[in-house]
Amino acid sequence: MSTATTAIPDQKKIGMVSLGCPKALVDSERILTRLRADGYAFAEDYAGADVVLVNTCGFLDSAKEESLAAIGEAIAENGRVIVTGCMGEEADAIRAAHPSVLAVTGAHQYEQVVEAVHTHAPPSQGPFIDLIPQPSDTDIKLTPRHYSYLKISEGCNHSCAFCIIPQLRGKLASRRIDAVLREAEKLVAAGTKELLVISQDTSAYGVDIRHESRTWHGREVRAHMTDMARELGQLRTADGTPPWVRLHYVYPYPHVDQVIPLMAEGLLTPYLDIPFQHASPKVLKLMKRPANEAKVLERLKSWREICPDIAIRSSFVVGFPGETEEDFRYLLDWLEEAQLDRVGAFRFEPVEGATANALPDPVPEEVKEERYARIMEVTERISAAKLAAKVGRTLPVIIDEVGEADEDGDIGATGRSQADAPEIDGAVYLRNVPSTLAPGDIVEATIEDADAHDLFGVIAQK
């Protein structure tokens, strides 16, 4: 009898560089999940990869420069590079800068990316590869195990003057509600403690499919933000507790009012990420954005009456063409009244293809810088006061990282309150935590101190 053995071919390995927003990160996860199913393994560095994927961002010119630099680094370190993502829509510019790229595909073109990988790094064939059990039955995740992004739609129906997202990603295309809920249920069953709902316009979810209903666990559920939020609030983790469910990119349409009671009931995380962009009616009109700032202030007051702990985050553009000093002061006054919890600000930057580029009265760069410094000073002061008011309170905190013991044996941990989304908001730093604490644990923490962005405390004594 022959004792010869068949050598199992090495699995081809894929490297991935993922740039841009959380929506792009979800795209990267989907691409890697598909490639894993095709028998590929994943490299931890450039040297170990048979091919490197660079998922680019093309929203701003500075993001394009970052993407081109990342492509250049991957070429220098590995040499075999496939480009995808938003900047993939500008294939000529990419090839002009880096003619040796193997292939270029656009945003969310999963099949084309996989086909390019198959072409330039064909998967190992045969039953010894195809039948190897995969390391888990969950999708590839590029985020920590305890939180996950849940993308509910692609594209956008707005035509904001400063934005080219519809050109990059197309019109709104909503996922089926049962597919969204099935993915969420699967993520929570696999250990997710926090779901971050993302899209270009979460409030518009289902508009394109006429809010069609699907059967979910024996009942009809509409493809609508409020129905989806209510269903996500019914999920439970392995220990029987609701996961944190955080809503991002929520335009303040009237039906958003209906999700605030769900936050007050503890079914949703009391947090809304609303892209206001400005407050001056004139600038909002130039931006082609909704312009009813007075009504927004009334609604913010109403939301806080229903759910006092609600945290509102937003972002604003300074130096938009035509923005006068009066417009900017209007924005600062509005921010003083709105008292938003988390604020990001951006200097206006022309983006190729955006209609704002043709607007008259551009704001000089030095004025943009001066206004940026002023808005950050105001919002930092507001943030510091809001965080100082939390000193002495006990808040739920989700743990992101646990440190090593110091010379005295004390262990510190970094987490987030319900007012803090990962990567974009502040943190809660805990001292003297037990060695058994792990990422994903949710603890009650007594807040002892605060600065303009972060909280400091200790796990509450039971």
307 is in an annotated binding site: no
Which tokens hold the place of 412?
Answer: 């510190």
For 290, phi and psi rounded to 5 degrees?
-55, 140
Burial 338-376 (b: 16+ CB within 10 A, else e): bebbbbebbbbbebeebebeebeebbeeebbeebbebbe
What SS3 state is found at 455? strand
DSSP 277: B
Which tokens hold the place of 345?
Answer: 């600000």
Number of other CB atoms surrounding residue 116 within 10 Å: 20
Question: Between the CA of residue 379 and those of 237, 280, 335, 349, 416, what are the distances in Å?
Answer: 36, 17, 8, 21, 20
Closest CA to 161 of 288, 274, 299, 262: 288
List the strands of the sheet with 81-85, edge to edge.
Answer: 41-42, 13-18, 51-56, 81-85, 103-104
**What is the distance between the terminal CA atoms of the chain, rounded to a whole angstrom?**
68
Please count the helices (runs of H) and the strands (runs of E) in the chain. Answer: 13, 20
Say how far apart CA 406 and CA 409 lie, in whole Å.
5
Closest CA to 16 of 70, 91, 93, 64: 70
Which tokens hold the place of 165?
Answer: 């997202």
Q: What is the dihedral of CA 382, 384, 389, 393, to 10 degrees?
A: 140
Closest CA to 155 of 175, 183, 141: 175
- Work out whether strand 103-104 and strand 147-151 pair parallel, antiparallel, or are unpaired: unpaired
Q: What is the dihedral of CA 141, 223, 226, 339, to 10 degrees?
A: 60
Question: Between the CA of residue 64 and those of 29, 68, 94, 166, 257, what are the distances in Å?
Answer: 21, 6, 9, 17, 37
Largest CA distance in the chain: 91
Could you tell me which residues are annotated as the binding site?
21, 57, 86, 156, 160, 163
Could you tell me which residues are annotated as the binding site for [4Fe-4S] cluster?
21, 57, 86, 156, 160, 163
